[in-house]
Structure 1
Amino acid sequence: MKIIVTGSLGNISKPLTIELIEKGHDVTVISSSPERISEIESLGAKAAIGTMEDVDFLTETFTGADIVYAMEALNAGVFFDHNIDFIQANIQIAKNYKEAIERSGVKNIIHLSSIGAHMESGNGILKFHHEAEKVLNELPENVSIKFMRPVGFYYNMFAFIPTIKSQNAIIQNYGGDDREPWVSTIDIASAIAEEIEKPFNGREIRYIASEEISPNEIAETLGEAIEKSDLKWITISDEDLLDNLIKVGMNPETAKGYVEMNIARRSSVLYEDYFKNRPVLGKTKVKDFAKDFAKVYQNE
Structure 2
Amino acid sequence: MKIVLTGSLGHISKPLTEILVKEGHEVTLITTDISKQAAVQAMGARPAVGRIGDRSFLVKAFTGADAVYCMNPLDFTSRDVGEWDRNMDNYVHAVRETGVGRVVVLTGWIAHLLQRVQPEKKFEALNGVSVTFVRPGPFYSNFYHLKDMIRHQGRIASNYGGEDIVAFVAPEDIAEAIAEEINTPATAGLKTRYVASEELTCNQAAQIIGEAVGIPGLQWVTLPADQVQQGLQASGVSPEVAALLVEMQEHMHNGKAQQDYYLNRPALGKRKLKDFAREYAAWYHQN
Task: Establish whether TM, by shorter chain, passes 0.5.
Answer: yes
The residue number in structure 2 matching 1:187 is 173
1:100 aligns to 2:97 (yes or no) = no
Q: What is the Cα deviation at residue 253 of structure 1?
A: 2.1
Does residue 258 (structure 1) correspond to residue 253 (structure 2)? The answer is: no
1:110 matched to 2:97? no
CA distance in 2, matches of 1:104, 1:66: 10
Partner of 2:283: 296
Deviations 1:258-296 (A, max 9, x none): 222222111111221111100000011110111122122
1:136 Cα deviation from its structure 2 partner: 1.3
Query: What are the Cα deviations for residues 220-265 of structure 1, in whole angstroms up to 9, with x where unaligned?
Result: 1011111111322222222322222222222112212222222211
Counting matched residue pairs gives 286
Runs of at least 4 residues off by over 4 Å: none
Q: Distance in 1 between matches of 2:85 and 2:211?
A: 40
**Contact 2:4–2:68 (CA<8 Å) still a contact in 1?**
yes
Q: Does 1:59 align with 2:59?
A: yes
Distance 1:157 1:103 in 2: 39
Give CA-to-partner distance per residue, 1:21-58, whole Å, 9 cap, x none: 11011101111111111000001111111111111111
Instruction: Give 1:120 shift.
Output: 4.9
Question: Where does residue 73 of structure 1 map in the other structure?
Answer: 73
Matched, 1:153 2:153: no
Amino acid across the alignment from 1:193: A
Shift, 1:146, TM fit: 1.1
Alignment partners' CA distance in 2, 1:67 and 1:29: 12
CA distance in 2, matches of 1:251, 1:208: 29
| 1:9 counterpart residue number | 9
CA distance in structure 2 between the aligned counterparts of 1:249 and 1:178, rounded to whole angstroms: 27
Contact 2:4 2:30 in 1 (8 A): yes
Rounded Cα–Cα distance in structure 2 between residues aligned with 1:153 and 1:166: 22
Cα-Cα RMSD: 1.4
Unpaired runs of at least 5, structure 1: 122-126
2:83 alignment partner in structure 1: 89
Query: Paired residue for 1:227?
Result: 214
* TM-score, with structure 2 as normaliser: 0.95
> Structure 1 residue 41 and structure 2 residue 35: aligned?
no
Distance 1:182 1:111 in 2: 19
Q: TM-score, normalised by structure 1?
A: 0.91
- In structure 1, give the amino acid aligned to 2:102: N
Aligned residue identity for 1:260 = E
